[in-house]
């Protein structure tokens, strides 16, 4: 038995968040090596080799143009994968019962999964930014960070949003195949059509309008604004849209935990 | 005294199956309560409702007065569960799994580490503390399940088939451990297939079948409902069997009298209490008794008899005939 409700709230939440973070920190070859290698390849092939031919987009060298998009790509996929995998794996092997049978509130359970996954998203996003900074600074010029606070806010909201979506994915998945479908057939196309590797100006008016329904566009746009100070969509509007979506998704997460969706019979 | 568990008309429906069909039970604080039943009786569903892994379709369940849904946090804070299935976090060494479990219950890290150490020593696997669960032997895994239930220092310890697949030595170790805990005031709710386990450990047992409580009684009371065999060897030949049978008391407890291998066999409830009457009547009729043995019915035989009877009922129409014991339970007759 515990010492009291406050102790359960604070200690229980911190314990679950710590458990979730330690799970991926102790497996760096699984957590950090893949994005490291993938992004070194991205920067080398797309940025350096192809970038020489592309020249500049919206007034910045191509390798610098794709940097924000790659940071978003890493943050989004790691946030989503972490929360969805952790919850689904716990359900699959039923060890999530260790949490569910505890006196921790459903709200704090959901928040612990979201925040720990978002932390992974930010760490991987930071890793990719560091790789890009290293390569670009060595070959061209230092990478600017024009609006650091906006950049931090934007990346945080993105990581929270996709961690929250990952919680939904982890709760509704019935098989590992479902996670693969969500990641490869939904998330990845959204990212690649989210103006990571191209400018919206290169699209026809119709495709440009359709693209504006893709939330990834606002994310890439916002992070690009934070780094480079250039934006194709109003950065304030981008942040508001993303913030609103995040609030809705997190509310859904908490509601699903309270209802026991995917967790209880 | 507070009741550790109060359950009223608890129901759980899965599609067309009533896993729990109006279960009512009271488990007093400090008791050692057994829940017996065949596979599919609803034992695990019942337990899972108490800890929030299954949501009831109807009825109420309270743990130390806290409703398991409305006050789920207070209820779960008092319960430690060792489930039948191995649902353990495989990513961390077992001492960390225990620390995490204690942490979820609000126990600060330092205290959680001390409790984890204590729990692992209690179940005898402290030297395996840095091992992950997957690398433990079957018996050690079962021991760990108990440790995880103990690390939160629960007031109600729920053991779901703790002896399933364990060797005799481990079973006895577990019995000693939970008996000590119960002696120290922890209420224990035990489900088991091993009737001997319930007979040996439990103050009271409930027999659950097809989602309904058939009866609640002490093991002794249940055994009294079964039929014992009183076997009498006489100096005289039992060739005069008819005379011998006539000499026996006319008693409602007697179910059958027969001659087997030149011995007289009286089948009756409460054979021990009936034996003196048998001796007296035979003596009065002029027979000399060389030997008398009372073969007591076992709880297992009573259990099989009760559930076999219920199967026949189910075949007749699905709903068992009214059982006076069930009525007693529903009316709250299990209060102590």
pLDDT cut 90: percent of chain A above it: 62
Q: Is B242 on the interface with A (CB under 8 A)?
A: no
CA separation for the pair A36, A22 (Å, rounded): 19
* Tokens representing residue B305 in the block: 């008899």
User: What's the pLDDT tens digit per position in B214-243?
Assistant: 889 888 888 777 778 888 888 877 666 556
Q: Is B55 on the interface with A (CB under 8 A)?
A: yes
ipTM of the complex: 0.89
- Picking from A93, A102, A265, the nearest residue to B76 by CB comes out as A102
The domain locations on chain A are 2-259
User: What's the pLDDT tens digit per position in A31-67?
Assistant: 999 999 999 998 888 777 877 777 778 778 888 888 9
User: What's the pLDDT tens digit per position in B115-135?
Assistant: 999 999 999 999 999 999 999
* Per-residue pLDDT at A6: 60
Residues 6+ apart with CB under 8 A from B161: B84, B191, B192, B193
Q: A9 to chain B nearest CA, in Å?
A: 7
* Per-residue pLDDT at A249: 97
* Per-residue pLDDT at B31: 95
Q: B53 to chain A nearest CA, in Å?
A: 5
CA separation for the pair B296, A54 (Å, rounded): 94
Residues of A with CB under 8 A from a CB of B: 1-5, 7-12, 14-16, 18-19, 22-23, 90, 93-95, 97-105, 260, 264-265
Q: Is B100 on the interface with A (CB under 8 A)?
A: yes
* Per-residue pLDDT at A165: 95
Q: Is B80 on the interface with A (CB under 8 A)?
A: no
The answer, yes or no, to whether residue B245 has pLDDT greater than 80, is: no
Q: Are strands B79-82 and B66-67 parallel, antiparallel or unpaired?
A: unpaired
* Per-residue pLDDT at A230: 84
Q: Which residues of chain A have pLDDT under 70?
A: 1-8
Please give the angle made by the CA atoms of B306, B310 and B311, to the nearest 5 degrees: 120
CA separation for the pair B170, B192 (Å, rounded): 15
The neighbour count for residue A209, using CB atoms within 10 Å, is 11
CA separation for the pair B159, A52 (Å, rounded): 68
Mean pLDDT (whole number) for B265-288: 82
Are B105 and B183 contacting, i.e. CB atoms less than 8 angstroms apart? no
* Per-residue pLDDT at A7: 61
pTM: 0.84
Neighboring chain A residues of B88 at a CB cutoff of 8 Å: 95, 98
- Picking from B87, B92, B105, the nearest residue to A102 by CB comes out as B105
pLDDT cut 70: percent of chain A above it: 97
State whether A103 and B76 contact (CB < 8 Å).
yes
Residue whose structure tokens are 């009741």: B3
What are the DSSP calls for A168-188, one per residue? HHHHH-SSHHHHHIIIIIIIH
CA separation for the pair A159, A77 (Å, rounded): 9
3-state secondary structure of B273: helix
pLDDT cut 70: percent of chain B above it: 88
Q: Phi then psi for B290, rounded to 5 degrees?
A: -90, -35
Neighboring chain A residues of B15 at a CB cutoff of 8 Å: none
Domains and CATH numbers, chain B: 3-78+154-222+310-335 (3.40.50.300), 227-296 (3.30.70.980)
Mean pLDDT (whole number) for B284-291: 83
Are A115 and A105 contacting, i.e. CB atoms less than 8 angstroms apart? no
**Alpha helices, DSSP H, located in chain A:** 5-7, 13-25, 28-31, 33-42, 51-54, 62-92, 97-100, 106-139, 148-172, 176-180, 188-192, 205-211, 215-228, 235-259
B104: closest chain A residue by CA = A12
CA separation for the pair B13, A61 (Å, rounded): 64
């Amino acid at each position: 038995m515990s010492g009291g409700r406050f102790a359960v709230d604070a200690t229980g939440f911190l314990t679950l968040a710590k458990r979730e973070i330690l799970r991926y920190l102790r497996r760096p070859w699984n957590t950090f090596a893949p994005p490291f290698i993938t992004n070194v390849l991205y920067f080398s092939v797309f940025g350096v080799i192809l970038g020489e031919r592309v020249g500049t987009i919206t007034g910045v060298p191509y390798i610098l143009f794709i940097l924000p998009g790659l940071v978003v790509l890493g943050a989004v996929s790691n946030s989503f994968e972490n929360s969805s995998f952790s919850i689904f794996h716990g359900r699959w092997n039923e060890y999530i019962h260790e949490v569910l049978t505890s006196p921790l509130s459903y709200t704090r359970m959901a928040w612990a999964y979201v925040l720990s996954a978002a932390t992974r998203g930010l760490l991987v996003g930071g890793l990719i930014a560091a790789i890009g900074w290293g390569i670009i600074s060595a070959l061209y010029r230092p990478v600017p960070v024009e609006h650091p606070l906006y950049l931090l806010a934007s990346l945080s909201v993105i990581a929270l949003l996709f961690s929250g979506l990952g919680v939904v994915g982890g709760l509704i998945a019935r098989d590992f195949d479902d996670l693969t479908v969500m990641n490869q057939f939904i998330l990845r196309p959204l990212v690649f059509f989210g103006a990571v590797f191209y400018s919206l100006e290169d699209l026809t008016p119709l495709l440009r309008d359709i693209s504006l329904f893709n939330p990834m566009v606002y994310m890439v746009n916002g992070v690009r604004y934070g780094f480079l100070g250039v934006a194709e969509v109003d950065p304030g509007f981008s942040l508001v849209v993303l913030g609103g979506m995040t609030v809705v998704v997190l509310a859904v997460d908490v509601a699903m935990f309270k209802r026991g969706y995917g967790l209880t019979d | 005294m507070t009741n550790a568990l109060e359950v009223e008309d608890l129901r759980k429906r899965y599609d067309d199956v009533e896993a729990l069909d109006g279960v009512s039970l009271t488990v007093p604080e400090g008791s050692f309560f057994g829940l017996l039943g065949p596979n599919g009786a609803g034992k695990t569903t019942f337990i899972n409702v108490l800890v929030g892994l299954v949501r009831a379709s109807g009825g109420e369940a309270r743990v130390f007065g806290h409703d398991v849904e409305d006050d789920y946090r207070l209820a779960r804070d008092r319960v430690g569960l060792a489930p039948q299935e191995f649902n353990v976090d495989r990513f961390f060494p077992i001492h960390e799994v225990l620390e995490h479990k204690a942490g979820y219950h609000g126990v600060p890290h330092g205290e959680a580490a001390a409790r984890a150490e204590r729990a692992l020593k209690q179940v005898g696997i402290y030297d395996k503390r840095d091992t992950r669960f997957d690398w433990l032997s079957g018996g050690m895994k079962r021991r760990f399940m108990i440790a995880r239930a103990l690390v939160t220092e629960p007031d109600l310890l729920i053991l779901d088939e703790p002896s399933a697949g364990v060797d005799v030595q481990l079973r006895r170790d577990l019995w000693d451990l939970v008996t000590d805990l119960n002696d120290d005031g922890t209420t224990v709710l035990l489900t088991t297939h091993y009737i001997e386990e319930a007979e040996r450990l439990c103050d009271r047992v409930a027999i659950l079948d097809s989602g309904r409580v058939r009866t609640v009684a002490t093991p002794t009371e249940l055994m009294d409902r079964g039929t014992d065999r009183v076997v009498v060897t006489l100096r005289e030949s039992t060739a005069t069997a008819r005379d011998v049978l006539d000499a026996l008391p006319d008693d409602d407890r007697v179910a059958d009298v027969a001659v087997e291998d030149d011995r007289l066999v009286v089948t009756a409830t409460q054979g021990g209490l009936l034996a003196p009457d048998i001796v007296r009547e035979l003596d009065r009729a002029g027979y000399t008794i060389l030997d008398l043995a009372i073969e007591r019915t076992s709880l297992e035989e009573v259990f099989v008899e009760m559930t076999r009877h219920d199967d026949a009922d189910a075949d007749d129409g699905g709903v068992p005939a009214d059982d006076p014991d069930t009525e007693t339970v529903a009316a709250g007759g299990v209060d102590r």
